[in-house]
Structure 1
Amino acid sequence: MKVANAEQMKRLDREAVREYRIPGIVLMENASLGVIRAMETKYGRLWGRSVLIFCGKGNNGGDGMASARHLANRGAHVQVVLLGEPESLQEDAAANYAICERMKIRIHPVVSPKDFSSVSRWISKADLILDAILGTGIVPPVRGLVEQAVRRINRSGKPVISVDLPTGLSADSSEIVGEVVHADLTVTFGLPKISLVQYPSLSNAGEVHVADISLPWELVDQAEIPVELLGEEILQALPPRRPDLHKGEAGRVLLIAGSRGMPGAAVMAALSCFRSGAGLVYAAVPGRVREFFHKQLVEGITVTLPETERDHLSLSALPDILAAARGKKAAVMGPGIGLDPATGDMVRSLIQKIRIPMILDADALSHLAGNTALLRKIRIPVILTPHPGEMARLTDVSDKVLKTRRVDLAREFAAAFGVILVLKGARTVIADPKGRVWINPTGNPGMATAGTGDVLTGMIAGLAAQGMAPLQAALAGVFLHGRCGDRAAAHRGKRGLLARDLIREIPNVLRTVDDKKRTR
């Protein structure tokens, strides 16, 4: 599903009216019916409920007044707070206001702060509050009467439903600026918006429901919108498991990982490769890590490499790694390799010489900080999987900027350096060199624990080794990784999950995918 910003959504609405001759009031009617259906799904029958609706002067307020009509028809007790004079309403919003008046729905205009005095009594009696003040297209922060209304809504303690967007949120950014409604349910129209699929803004949206307002499918499909919400359709690209498959054909992965103090990273990444379906995993590790690796994973094959005095990989390991890469379908470098300067020299040399698709993770990314220009010299597909701290070092931006511009920064970096970027975190962002972006909806806070990044890297490598194109492997790997985390959390809870819990779920999740394919 595409994810729109304010301008893209405005263009879709405009073209629906101009090119397809759909009256704007029809779109408003469809939107309000979507609000009512979502409310009924979450809160049950609305008959007899007291619903207080805050409406702005624009189309969002028009959606609110259209919703007021449908709520009244369903037997709800409806009152409307209009922030402004009724004479300021235009076109479709004015038409719905007129209908509400004829239906004798009580509407209370608020044109000055003193007009809020009676509103406080209405709030105390309300069962539900509908926020239809401002929607797509606003530039926060909100001021004046709108700001006061938002504060009253947030202090009410009542369930809040926001129409299209919580008032105060921008459609285009995940940043929270000023006062913003804290919704329990947000019913957005046509397509999800950037602020409804990324944190921290998503925290204010509650449960997000995308209502179909009958925009023509062709119009949406042809719209040039480069951001998408990742969905299960990506799993159709998973390679089939042929009856006559042997381990060599199932994919060979070269894993360059591990060091003294962090040998477990190599084990988790290798095990995740196997669990994702790879037939053979060759772990290129420092000599002193080799014994630990074999004790933990007897299925793996080790390539013992020269090491520094600190038991980290050294530059002299480069010829052995290049030799080991022959015949492999994918390579991973980074989990647990440490920050020894000699290891950094090896990383920067290897990425210019290796000739198979490569996933760079963890410490390999730290060794590239300040040297990202090297990425432009690479002639093979490269996937980078930074967590926010690693991304901040690669881009030299502050944590605050990174947190609120994840989509933009991922897209800019991938396009500038010709790589596939997987920016990890809540709602992981994947970007490709063409400027396309995907946002992953799977996963949960229980996955915020050591080693889950190594699991993701191993899963992507395992899928790539089985023949998936690098971008498809990255998309499917991220989606499945989150799904494994969700399954593990369902069984064990979100507090106290281990990376190993995700690895145990990989075969179960993949079996579910295969079963669905067979039943189609």
Structure 2
Amino acid sequence: MKLISVKNMKALESAANEGGYSYEKMMLKAGQNMAQVVHDRYFKKGITRVMGLVGGGNNGGDTIIALTALQKLGWTCSAFMLKEDPQWQTLIIELHANGGKVVDRDRFEEELSHTQLVLDGVMGTGFKMPMREPFVDFMKKFNKLSDGKLIVAVDCPSGVDCITGEACAETLHADLTVSMEAVKEGMLKFPAYEYCGEIVTVDLGIPAKTLKAFDSGDVVIDEEMVKALLPKRDNSGHKGSFGHLMVCGGCINYPGAPMFAAQSAYRTGAGLVECAIPERVYAAAVANNLESIFTILEDQDGVIAENAATILIPKLKQVNCLLIGIGIGREETTQRFIKRLLFDMNNKNKSAGAGFVPGTAKVKTKDIEKYPRMVIDADALRLLADIDLWYEKLQAEAVLTPHPGEMSALTGMSIEEIQMDRLEIARRFAQKWGQVVVLKGALTVVASAEGKVAILPFANSALAKAGSGDVLAGMIAGLMTQSVNPFDAAVAGVWLHARAAEAVVKTHGTTFSLLAGDLIDAIPSAFSELM
């Protein structure tokens, strides 16, 4: 689904109108297409009685046209006019002509008692807080009377600010929001998102040339988009065909993190996953991850030591992707390890251990000709933040996966500032850093170095658990290992991660009990939705 700002949506409609595709044609298409969505979803379930709440503006016209279309499809339709608008007289006449009716205030409650579904067309995307009378009184009353009714919002729920994401207390909670042409940005902010229910879009019939001129590339991630991004699986392939991933992380305090990432990468299709971990955690790691192979890194008091970079550098030319940071800790020696591995690896030769036995190794410039793609996660992000102009020095394509706290460390902004405008903050810094940024959290944002963004319409407290981020990092890295480009891998990864969480919640019957291991086990279920 496309994503657009209110400002750009108005400009798009204006350009279409000036180009000969009139506002009237757009409204007709909007109402008809919305009616078809409602009919296809509900009619066969025995839901056939609908009332439209009609306000002023284009939403009102869309609603009346939808009611007329539904009446023609066999529904019993009525309209309640909250605001008399002379421009809708022709549309009302057509509704009457096809068997629909307009309900007056005296008969409103009786008619509503027989209604199964309500089209909320009171206010549109131009709404600004606060809601005023007589709408406040009506919406409060309607909220009390609408219990058990399906609510379908026309373009957006009435009372939502589609720019800021604010929402009035009187706003109706929609089961479904049918957005015209594209989802409006403010609908994917809190608290507005909680009023939208499921979100779908319908087109307005605007000519392709006009649409192209206003296409920013911003999207809302959906199933069809993700299905197109998955790598092909050749039946004649072998493990080498599906890539070699190196997972580097773990420490005495977080021994499980790289195992979660490795297992999720395997579940996402990677052919071979190698774990580079400190010697101190090897026994625990291998007991819980028999599928992986291991490189043992020199450690210092249970954390990866600086000299471990010398072991890892020669191996990077053998892998398709490096995932670094999960459970790695923030000790000084690990900071120096990160710096050498990512920035200084061609400049110095130092002694270190290799494999299971400490020894001496020399690293030459020719050992690494090109960095593999990377996923940089967790404490590696905080360690990066301490390196001046790291984004100018990093020579690899990377996906950075910060939660708001890590994003704060990287940007110098407060968490509150970041959360107030997640989409634009992610976009700005993805462009500045020249890398893909996955700003995690409710309504995860994926931003590309070129400035396009994708938002995941998903928010569930089940994922507020230690280890869930390690699983996501492994999934994204697993896709990148199979040659999916970084932005597409991030988009597909966050969607599959969310669907896996939904599967776990469905199985458990609660959002309280999800564990990272449950997520990994549910990854196949997420993939099966796309097959």
Partner of 1:112: none
Distance 2:292 2:210 in 1: 51
Distance 1:504 1:167 in 2: 40
Question: Which runs of structure 2 are paired with 1:146-225 in the superposition (5 Å)?
Answer: 146-158=135-147, 159=149, 160-176=151-167, 179-225=170-216
Structure 1 residues 143 and 296 mapped into 2: Cα distance closer, same or farther (>3 Å)? same
Measure the CA separation in 1 of the matches of 2:387 and 2:168.
34
C-alpha contact (below 8 Å) 1:303/1:324 kept by paired residues: no
Q: Assess, with a 3 A threshold, how the Cα gap between structure 1 residues 416 and 50 changes in structure 2: closer, same or farther.
A: same
- Give the structure 2 partner of residue 503 of structure 1: 520
Q: Tell me if the contact between 1:443 and 1:481 (Cα under 8 Å) persists in the aligned partners.
A: no
Provide Cα deviations, 1:92-111, integer angstroms capped at 9, x if missing partner.
x4543565688894465xxx
Q: Is the 8 A contact 1:164 1:186 kept in 2?
A: yes
Give the whole-Å Cα distance in 2 for the aligned partners of 1:151 and 1:313.
Answer: 59
Match of 1:272 in 2: 264
User: Take 1:506 and 1:48, find their aligned partners in 2: how far apart are those partners?
Assistant: 35
- Of all paired residues, the percent bearing the same amino acid is 31
- Deviation string 1:142-185 (CA, Å, 9 cap, x unpaired) is 33433333333333334333211111223334343665332233
Per the alignment, residue 282 of structure 2 pairs with 290
Question: Which residues of 2 match residues 47-126 of structure 1 at below 5 A?
Answer: 52-70=51-69, 74=74, 76=76, 78-83=78-83, 86=85, 89-90=86-87, 93=88, 95-97=90-92, 105-106=101-102
- How has the CA–CA distance of structure 1 residues 460 and 79 changed in structure 2, closer, same or farther, with 3 Å as cutoff? closer
**Are the equivalent residues in 2 in contact too, given 1:8–1:225 (CA < 8 A)?**
no
66 and 286 in structure 1: CA distance in 2 versus 1, 3 angstrom threshold: same
Residue 37 (structure 1) aligns with: 36
Q: Aligned pair in 2 of structure 1 residues 127, 229: CA closer, same or farther (>3 Å)?
A: closer
Counterpart code for 1:184: D
Q: Retained in 2: the 8 A contact 1:443–1:483? A: no
1:214 and 1:451, CA in 2 relative to 1: closer, same or farther beyond 3 A? Answer: same
1:226 is matched by which residue type in structure 2? G
Instruction: Please name the residue that 1:6 is paired with.
Output: 6
Quote the Cα distance in structure 1 between the aligned partners of 2:91 and 2:470.
55
Match of 1:427 in 2: 443
CA distance in 2, matches of 1:227, 1:331: 28
Match of 2:125 in 1: 136
Name the count of aligned residue pairs.
500
Task: Find the counterpart in structure 2 of residue 281 from structure 1.
Answer: 273
| Larger mean Cα displacement after TM superposition, 134-143 or 291-300 | 134-143
Deviation at 1:192, TM superposition (A): 2.2
Match for residue 305 of structure 1?
297
Cα distance, 1:313 vs. partner?
A: 1.9
2: CA distance, partners of 1:75 / 1:176? 31
- Residues 261/135 of structure 1: CA separation in 2 closer, same or farther (3 Å cut): same
Q: Kindly state the Cα deviation for residue 209 of structure 1 after the two structures are TM-superposed.
A: 3.3
1:308 counterpart letter in structure 2: Q
- Secondary structure at the aligned position of 1:315 is classed as coil
Deviates more, 1:116-125 or 1:238-247: 116-125
- TM value normalised by structure 2: 0.82
Matched letter for residue 464 of structure 2? A
2:303 is paired with a residue whose SS is coil
Residues 280, 43 of structure 1: CA spacing in aligned structure 2 closer, same or farther, 3 A cutoff? closer
Return the alpha-carbon distance in structure 2 between the equivalents of residues 70 and 335 of structure 1.
54
CA distance in 2, matches of 1:235, 1:100: 40
Q: Taking structure 1 as reference, are residues 381 and 48 closer, same or farther at Cα in structure 2, changes over 3 Å only? A: closer
**1:364, 1:257 → 2: CA distance?**
9
Aligned pair in 2 of structure 1 residues 241, 38: CA closer, same or farther (>3 Å)?
closer
Q: Give the match for residue 262 of structure 1.
A: 254
- CA contact under 8 A between 2:432 and 2:449: conserved in structure 1? yes
Partner of 1:331: 322
Aligned-residue offset at 1:431? 0.6
Distance 2:291 2:308 in 1: 23
Give the deviation of 1:423 after TM superposition: 1.6
Correspondent of 1:458 among 461, 468, 474: 474
1:52-91 deviation per Cα after TM superposition (whole angstroms, max 9, x unaligned): 54332222222233345456665636242333x54xx55x
Taking structure 1 as reference, are residues 176 and 406 closer, same or farther at Cα in structure 2, changes over 3 Å only? farther
- The residue identity in structure 2 corresponding to 1:339 is R
Q: How far apart, in 1, do the equivalents of 2:290 and 2:75 lie? A: 67
Residue of structure 2 in register with 1:414 after alignment: 430
Confirm or deny: 8 A CA contact 1:285 1:303 kept in the other structure.
yes
Contact 1:258 1:265 in 2 (8 A): yes
User: What's the counterpart of residue 401 of structure 2?
Assistant: 385
Pair 1:494–1:373, CA change in 2 (3 A): farther
Task: Tell me, yes or no, if the aligned pair for 1:287 and 1:306 is still in contact at 8 Å.
Answer: yes
Q: CA deviation at 1:272?
A: 1.9
1:251 equivalenced with 2:243 (yes/no) = yes
Alpha-carbon separation, structure 2, partners of 1:280 and 1:161? 47
Aligned 8 A contact 2:338 2:383 in 1: yes
Question: 2:508 and 2:106 mapped to 1: Cα distance?
Answer: 49
Q: Is the 8 A contact 1:348 1:374 kept in 2?
A: no
The structure-2 alpha-carbon separation of the partners of 1:125 and 1:251, relative to structure 1 and needing over 3 Å to count, comes to closer
SS at match of 2:392: helix
TM-score normalised per structure 1: 0.84
Deviation by residue 1:193-217 (Cα, 9 ceiling, x = unmatched) = 2234455422101232323433334
Aligned partners of 1:399, 1:150: CA distance in 2, in Å?
A: 34
CA change 1:494–1:386 in 2 (3 A) is farther
- Contact residue 250 and residue 465 of structure 1 kept, 8 A: yes
Separation in 2, partners of 1:398, 1:297: 38
Structure 1 distance, partners of 2:69, 2:231, is 48
Unaligned runs of 5+ in 1: 109-115
Shift of 1:418: 0.9
The alpha-carbon deviation at position 241 of structure 1 amounts to: 4.0
Q: Is contact 1:276-1:506 (8 Å) kept? A: yes
- In structure 2, C-alpha distance between the alignment counterparts of 1:237 and 1:49, rounded to whole Å: 38
8 Å CA contact retained: 1:445, 1:494: no
The one-letter code of the counterpart of 1:250 is: F
Deviates more, 1:36-45 or 1:339-348: 36-45
Q: Is the 8 A contact 2:49 2:75 kept in 1?
A: no
